[in-house]
């Protein structure tokens, strides 16, 4: 089986795929008479309003995945972005590949620790939610509309996610 090595999630590494949603390094300023700090505009939300899209607020409750995690399919949303913000500190994994024709050789895998969210840009291939360590909830911001906005692709060979050094 092929393997894919997990990397830590950073803004720089994830830039081709969308946004890392985190407070470190985010623009922020005080509001409400100084009682609240606003960390502002943390992701590029694309809802395709020109094609009748509207923003949805959802909660995804993800079951814990057995380890080692094996990747056999990927999906993409051609009409909008999709953001995941964990409700609390959650360990989860993210697997992505560039938008366009799917290329398994260009997949990247990221490991999240602490409070980090991700926003997949429109059309970016990604694996469905991979939660570790228990049932966990995420606030999910994506596109609503009547058009089909989910495409799947099945890999010809599975990839096993490995941590650096597990080899």
List contacts with its own copies (CB under 8 A): 21, 23, 26, 31-33, 35-43, 45, 47, 49, 54-63, 65, 83, 85-88, 115, 119, 128-129, 137, 139-141, 144
Nearest to 152 by CA among 121, 117, 128: 128
Q: Is the alpha carbon torsion for 55, 107, 24, 59 positive or negative?
A: positive
Q: What is the rounded CA–CA span in Å between residue 72 and residue 107?
A: 12
Q: Measured from the CB of residue 165, what is the shortest distance to its own copies in angstroms?
A: 28
Distance (Å, whole) CA 107 – CA 57 = 28
Nearer Cβ to its own copies (1/57): 57
How far the first Cα of the chain sits from its last, in Å, is 12
Minimum CB separation of residue 67 from its own copies in Å reads: 14
And the tokens for 89?
């500190």
Q: For the CB of residue 149, give the shortest distance to its own copies in the complex, in Å.
A: 13
Q: Of the two residues 98 and 144, which places its CB atom closer to its own copies in the complex?
A: 144
Looking at the Cβ atoms of 16 and 55, the one nearer to its own copies is 55
Q: 28 or 100: whose CB is closer to its own copies?
A: 28
Rounded to a whole number of angstroms, the minimum distance from the CB of residue 33 to its own copies is 8
d(CA 84, CA 119): 6
Task: Write down the least CB distance from residue 89 to its own copies, Å.
Answer: 8
Question: Which CB atom, from 52 or from 100, has the smaller least distance to its own copies?
Answer: 52
* Largest CA-CA distance found in the chain, in angstroms, rounded: 57
């Amino acid at each position: 089986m092929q393997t894919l090595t997990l990397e830590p999630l950073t803004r720089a590494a994830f830039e081709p795929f969308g946004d890392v949603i985190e407070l470190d390094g985010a623009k922020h300023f005080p509001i409400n008479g100084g009682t609240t700090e606003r960390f502002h505009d943390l992701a590029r939300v694309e809802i395709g309003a020109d094609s009748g899209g509207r923003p949805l607020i959802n909660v995804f409750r993800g079951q814990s995945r057995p380890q080692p995690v094996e990747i056999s399919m990927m999906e993409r949303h051609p009409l909008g972005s999709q953001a995941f913000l964990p409700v609390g500190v959650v360990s989860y994994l993210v697997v992505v590949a560039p938008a366009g024709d799917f290329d398994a050789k260009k997949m990247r895998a990221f490991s999240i620790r602490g409070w980090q969210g991700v926003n997949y840009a429109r059309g970016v291939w990604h694996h469905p939610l991979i939660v570790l360590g228990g049932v966990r909830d995420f606030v999910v911001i994506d596109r609503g509309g009547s058009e089909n906005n989910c495409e799947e692709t099945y890999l010809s060979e599975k990839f096993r996610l490995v941590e650096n050094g597990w080899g």
